[in-house]
Chain A
């Protein structure tokens, strides 16, 4: 299925999406406030000769959506050069058809950028590979920091409740600590896509 102007119009605005959320809205709005936008990011988007249309395929339960959709929305709002429409994958399962990660995984969020004629200029999926890699490094370090955590490959349910709760808290804290840097990685990758559109 190709995304064209008529399909694009079926999406909702970011504010409408937030109003429809059944969970995680507070976290989305907290993440939105914390996005480390730099004036250079906004200037880079404002250099676009014409606004880009952006389709965001999301669902409100997804941690990567909660983390990364607000970054895109802040860039759109601050620059005025990204015309963003949000598609809930559960209501629009057809939207992700051409945008599966590695051609097979329905990973979200998916951000698809189009020029004024709805020619695709870039696709961004889930989270930066650099973020996945750094989380994996930090996760390994957390497991190595306490023998009680056992092997990273062992089922967490095997751990005593108290140890599992401590491990979960450490993993969530690690993600929180990385969030500002991860946001910058998202911004860097989105700017690369926009930069290609400017150069085209």
Chain B
């Protein structure tokens, strides 16, 4: 099974570096095992990461940014 990762980030909060760092970590660790990485610009301080529709990190719910390694692990668990 492949995984589709969606990163929803606040586009007015300066979160681009964290978004790109997470996308880079996923690409490096998982490469072709991913079906897609989607970057979704949003508002309101959002930083959500979902894998195949499962929300694995939410800044509002969990606080802060996720550790890229934790997101990679969450994706691996769904492959």
A binding-site residues for B, Cβ under 8 Å: 59, 61-63, 155-158, 164, 168, 171-172
Contact = CB atoms under 8 A, between A and B. Distances in A.
B73 interface: no
Contact of A61 (B8, B14, B40, B50): B14
Given A63-B12, A168-B43, 20 more contacts: A59-B14, A61-B12, A61-B13, A62-B12, A62-B14, A63-B13, A155-B8, A155-B58, A156-B42, A156-B46, A157-B6, A157-B38, A157-B40, A157-B42, A157-B48, A158-B50, A158-B53, A168-B42, A171-B43, A172-B43
Interface of B: 6, 8, 12-14, 16, 38, 40, 42-43, 46, 48, 50, 53, 55, 58
A156 B14 contact: no
Nearest to B38: A157
A125 to B, nearest CB: 15
A158 B53 CA distance: 7
Contacts of B38: 157
Contacts of B55: 155
B53 A156 contact: no
Q: Which of A59, A155, A156, A172 has the most CB of B within 10 A?
A: A155
Nearest to B7: A157
Contacts of B16: 61
A158 B50 CA distance: 9
Contacts of A59: 14
Given A168-B42, A168-B43, A171-B43, A157 B12 contact: no
Contacts of A62: 12-14
B51 to A, nearest CB: 11
B72 to A, nearest CB: 19
Q: Which of B16, B38, B43, B58 has the most CB of A within 10 A?
A: B43
